[in-house]
Amino acid sequence: MTKATIARIWRGRVPADRADEYQAYNYEVGTRPLIEKALGVQQLREDRDGETLFMTISYWESFEAMSRFTGADPSDVHHLERDPEFLIELPASVQVLHIKASHGDTGGERS
């Protein structure tokens, strides 16, 4: 079993009236490729007054594994082609966190 030791977290906000359209686009172009490479992926959504927050969390065995997927520094933001069209502002960063404890089906293990 390979265990996730790293979580990479991306956040972006879109106007509420474009949220469903962005969710579909983000899944097809951003999340689907992650599903094939990461140990696990979660796409989260919070509808707020006038805007919607999206968060994508991907789980990786190591920093090196993320680098193999991105082809660059995985702590850098890699914007999708249509992100400027949808996002209220382009995120300046992502979080890369070390997982110290995990329980349940959170993408933490793959056999």
* pLDDT tens track for 38-68: 999 999 999 999 999 999 999 999 988 888 8
Say if CB 74 and CB 106 are below 8 A apart: no
What does DSSP say about strands 109-110 and 2-3: parallel, antiparallel, or unpaired? antiparallel
For the chain, which residues make up each domain, given as ranges?
A: 2-100
**CATH T-level topology, domain 2-100:** Alpha-Beta Plaits (3.30.70)
Question: Three-state secondary structure along 33-89?
Answer: HHHHHCCEEEEEEEECCCEEEEEEEEEECCHHHHHHHHCCCCCCCCCCCCHHHHCCC
Residue 44 phi/psi, 5° resolution?
A: -115, 155
Percent of the chain with pLDDT over 70: 93
pLDDT of residue 109: 41
% of the chain beyond a pLDDT of 90: 69
Residue 19 host element (H or E): helix 19-25
Rounded to the nearest angstrom, the gap between the alpha carbon of residue 36 and the centroid of all alpha carbons in its chain is: 13
